[in-house]
Amino acid sequence: MRIAPVAEVKARLSAYLEDLKAEGPVVITRNGRAVAVMLAPRDEEDLEGILLARSPRFQALLDKSRNSIRRDGGLSHEEFWKVVESRAREAKKTQTTKSGT
């Protein structure tokens, strides 16, 4: 991990991008305080995880789900998959009806 001021990263952005995989994340500072982190995602799944981890909407959805599980107890593994399969069948029926086949 490196720490660098905004001005340096701005002046040498291409070099910093080249070094990300080998050297890891760069903490970007302004007036000595961290203002951003630059990192290279390992793959598409990693990128998705990074973006979701910082998404206020996704975090709110997780909080709502956790509260629901605490309050109502959630579903068992078997119940969960029954619901998923049922919804998949319903979606397939709807799709078939809309396409006219």
pTM, 2 dp: 0.61
pLDDT of 71 higher than 90: yes
C-alpha angle 63/65/69, rounded to 5°?
Answer: 115
The domain 1-38: what is its CATH number?
Answer: 3.40.1620.10
Instruction: For residue 74, name the pLDDT band (cuts at 50, 70, 90).
Output: confident
The pLDDT assigned to 19 comes to 94
Domain range summary for the chain, segments of one domain joined by +: 1-38, 73-101
CA atoms within 13 A on the CB side of 3: 7
In this structure, are strands 26-30 and 33-38 parallel, antiparallel, or unpaired? antiparallel
